[in-house]
Structure 1
Amino acid sequence: MAQNNAVPTAEELQDLLLESPGFSEFLLGLTTISASLLGGETPMLCAITVERDDGPITVASSTDAARVLDEKQYEFNDGPCLTALRTGQLVQIPDLYADDRWQGYAHAISGTPVRSILAVPISTDSESGAALNCYSNELEAFDSHTVEAVQRHAESLSKILRLALRMHSTDPYPAALRSVLDSRAVVDAAISLIMVQNRCSRESAMKLLHLAARNSNQRLHDIARDMLARSGDPEPNGESS
């Protein structure tokens, strides 16, 4: 799987946190950027799991499908992302149905096209654990170069995620996150991509997006959707129109 090896700088991630209108929008941007940078020509679904005393939760996902793939593991209190989070060790599954470690989970998601999974721990603090979870519809999608890229990216997310969780430790993540997984989430995700790709502020990214819509005489939502499609990233909420 080919991917863009560019990793956002600490300053770029900090700008994304400070300039996002809310915590959920920041997390959505974070996972959308992850999916876009790491997926390359083959779309990749990404999600971030955080576990605290009250149990694991998907605090962000690049698509609603990625969230569901995470949450199915919580029903078993076991799975690749929970194992990576709890052990601090990378978990790689080249072929989900040839792997006998989580057969119950594999059966539970057998109706999806997902065939390979990569879960990489993200260092947080002593009160929580986190993991970046990547899903692909291709067999053996995560070669050594991709694994290295995901590990570097997870490492780059560590500091900003710790800061974000500290700043917003009491937010109701599921309700807040799902409230932004609607049509405006597509626009938010596109703005986040523009910020990282052009190393600009959120205000500048919004101006660029509005300018593109005006010049092409298209709706803002359509321009944002096309931008995500060209980047290789599926839309945040799986919309098709």
Structure 2
Amino acid sequence: MANNDAVTTADQYQDLLLNTPEFSQFLLGLATISASQLGGDGTPVACTVTVERDGALSTFAYSSEEGRRLDETQYAFGIGPCLAALREQRSVLIDDLQLDQRWAPYTYAVAKLGVRSVLAVPIRTEPLSQAALNCYAHAVHAFAAETVKLVEDQAASMSRILRLALRLHAPEVFSEDLRAALKSRAVVDAAIALVMLQARGGRDGALDLLQAAAASGNRRIQEIAREIVARGSLNADPGGGKR
């Protein structure tokens, strides 16, 4: 599925950084370039760049909102191919999420959302930070050997400019309240994905189930979501009774 165009070079990424007025726009460019090069045969691919710095995970760049949500769902579970690629500094390929058992229940949840293939490749950065280029597709076996090589070359080209960008731009400072809100949203999204998988329904129906469980137990929906993600199942009463 890789485009026949040459891999974007480090010099071209440097030009992108110099010619982009805002850091957020530069990061968007990183992900969008990768997605466009991988979607050359008409198969849509979502690309993201995950960075872990000072123990905090964030999706620095994403070519689509779907890609960002898929990354954040993985952060909520705390496991998955992108985190493995980033922390173990190795490429990770999943040809069919519905058959892969390595990171259940995360892989089950995102497969239910329509994603079937994932490729995650580490990007070499500074000693105190780690990064990965993540690619998601809705088709099985979406990343052939030549595509994996292209993504690895793309990640190598990104390395120098991303290291420079991380030095020039301090990590975004969030208040503790905002950090907690972002984490809660990711956990709720992960729980919704699991409920969709197990109840065989849509997103709205899954959210209705969580809200009903919260109301019946007089608890916050975030509490219910955390329990479902930790359990990997909504089997047992999600309301858990009053506390």
Q: Structure 1-normalised TM-score? A: 0.69
Q: Report what 1:22 is aligned to.
A: 22
1:111-150 maps to which residues of 2 (within 5 A)? 111-150=112-151
The 1-side partners of 2:5 and 2:149 are apart by 9
Verify: 1:51 aligned to 2:52, yes or no: yes
- The alignment-based identity, stated in percent, is 54
Secondary structure of the structure 2 residue equivalent to 1:135: strand
Q: Report what 2:95 is aligned to.
A: 94
The 1:45/1:172 distance shift into structure 2, 3 A limit, reads: farther
Question: 5+ residue gaps in structure 2?
Answer: 179-243
Q: Report what 1:11 is aligned to.
A: 11
Verify: 1:105 aligned to 2:106, yes or no: yes
Pairwise CA distance, 1:38? 1.9
Q: AA paired with 1:121?
A: P
Q: AA paired with 1:143?
A: A
Q: Deviations over 1:96-146 (max 9, x none)?
A: 010001111123224422100000000001100000000011101111010
Verify: 1:35 aligned to 2:27, yes or no: no
Bigger relative CO (Cα 8 Å, ≥ 6 apart): 1
**Are the equivalent residues in 2 in contact too, given 1:95–1:116 (CA < 8 A)?**
yes
1:88-237 maps to which residues of 2 (within 5 A)? 88-172=89-173
Q: AA paired with 1:160?
A: I
Secondary structure of the structure 1 residue equivalent to 2:3: coil
The 2-side partners of 1:45 and 1:154 are apart by 15
Secondary structure of the structure 2 residue equivalent to 1:101: coil
Q: Report what 1:218 is aligned to.
A: none
Verify: 1:73 aligned to 2:74, yes or no: yes
Pairwise CA distance, 1:170? 3.1
The 2-side partners of 1:110 and 1:8 are apart by 30
**Are the equivalent residues in 1 in contact too, given 2:81–2:92 (CA < 8 A)?**
yes
Query: Following superposition, which runs of at least 4 residues in structure 1 exceed 6 angstroms of deviation?
Result: none
**Are the equivalent residues in 2 in contact too, given 1:46–1:63 (CA < 8 A)?**
yes
Number of residues of Structure 1 aligned to a counterpart in Structure 2: 174
The 2-side partners of 1:79 and 1:53 are apart by 20
**Are the equivalent residues in 2 in contact too, given 1:28–1:60 (CA < 8 A)?**
yes
The 2-side partners of 1:74 and 1:119 are apart by 14
Q: Structure 2-normalised TM-score? A: 0.69
The 2-side partners of 1:29 and 1:121 are apart by 18
**Are the equivalent residues in 1 in contact too, given 2:2–2:37 (CA < 8 A)?**
no
User: Which is greater in Rg?
Assistant: 2
Q: Deviations over 1:183-210 (max 9, x none)?
A: xxxxxxxxxxxxxxxxxxxxxxxxxxxx
The 1:71/1:35 distance shift into structure 2, 3 A limit, reads: same
The 1:62/1:172 distance shift into structure 2, 3 A limit, reads: farther
